[in-house]
Amino acid sequence: MSKYNKDSGGYIFMFAVIMTILLGAVLAFTSESLKEKQAAEREFERKKFILSAALGSETITTMAKENRQNVEDLYNNRVADYVVNNKGESIDGLSAKDVVVSKEYKLNEQERKLPVYTIKKEGEEEVEYYVMPVFGYGLWDNIFGFVSLRSDLNTIQGVIFDHVGETPGLGARITEAAVQNRYIGKTIYAESGNLVSVDMQKGEGADYSNDPHKVNGLTGATITGVGVNNMMLAYMDLYQDFFNKVKAN
């Protein structure tokens, strides 16, 4: 006869405690073992976003599906990064990948660290594109992405937008290539030299092909569009001193 009464409350309690400890240990081990893989995946996505903003999301997505290493090689061969302050001055000893833009967003604008990514022309040392992260707030939660400017630091080469919780089919459409492509070739400075950025308008269907500072909006997602506009203008303004320093050299 067993020395333990399996129907007793004490036995059931001890069994539950032991199982909880064992399951907790298994989950902790699994989580720890996946951390490195998850970190590598986040880093790969960051590189994809940066390259996509400048070279086109379709191009980079196709390349990633065919061979992820090709994306890594492209990034390593053509992308450099550094961090500047709001005066456009380089911050030594800090890599752009170590700056968490979502955390910097909570700081006073004058205190933020601003990552900059440069993409060289293929096979050359000359910078072809500059890529800057942007961060803001949409209808329900944060929106974010990257904006790529051509070497004139005025003309938009491309944008990549993403979100935490915008409405599917409405505000969430900022992730669609068809929406992001509207920004290509637009300019952030007016002829007067003032920063005006690019404004997503209310609704869709209008023709803004001859307006360098306007793009169609998102039907039924006006607040998300306003969030994108605020984000674009705020971050282009933060980088203005950096732009001016580059142009002066």
pLDDT, tens digit, 9 for 90 and up, residues 21-37: 877 777 767 666 667 78
User: Which among 208, 219, 163 is positioned nearest to 186, based on CA atoms?
Assistant: 208
Measured in residues, the chain has a length of: 249
At what angle are helices 9-55 and 68-78 packed, to 10 degrees? Answer: 60
**How high is the pLDDT of residue 1?**
43
Strand residue runs (E) in the chain: 79-84, 114-120, 127-137, 142-150, 156-163, 199-200, 214-215
The domains of the chain are located at: 80-248
pLDDT, tens digit, 9 for 90 and up, residues 209-240: 999 999 999 999 999 999 999 999 999 999 99
User: Which among 29, 75, 31, 67 is positioned nearest to 49, based on CA atoms?
Assistant: 75
Measuring CA to CA, how many Å separate 83 from each of 51, 91, 131, 195, 205? 18, 6, 12, 22, 39
